[in-house]
Homo-oligomer: A and B are copies of this chain.
Amino acid sequence: MSTIDKGNRVLTLINVFTVEPEKQQALVALLIEATEQVMKHMPGFVSANIHRSLDGKKVVNYAQWENMAAFEAMRKNSKARPHMQAAAELAQFEPILCEVSDAISIG
């Protein structure tokens, strides 16, 4: 389980992948594998939350890192790069680096 909170001082990376529907499941599997095998063992990893769009055309990774330095170190890591290249071969992607302005929920 992951949490979103205004008080969380994490760096949030929302990565929106545009994919052909017949490749959506392969991209989901690749992102889960990359997270389990590599990302989650890196310093500063907090969470990765892989979403599939209902229309089949998008995959969204809502990821959290402790801070920008941890995120940058991951991007330069030689173990992470083959997974990122494999994702780039399956889909176009648009990473959005952001922070939480507000988290409003019931209860």
Footprint of B on A, CB under 8 Å?
Answer: 1-5, 12, 14, 16, 28, 32, 35-36, 40, 45-55, 58, 60, 62, 64, 96-106
Contacts and interface: CB of A to CB of B under 8 A. Distances in A.
Q: Tell me if A's interface is mostly helix, strand, loop or mixed.
A: strand
Given A4-B4, A16-B96, A45 B106 contact: yes
A100 B62 CA distance: 10
A73 B99 CA distance: 29
A52 B16 contact: no
A49 B100 contact: yes
A97 B102 CA distance: 20
A1 to B, nearest CB: 5
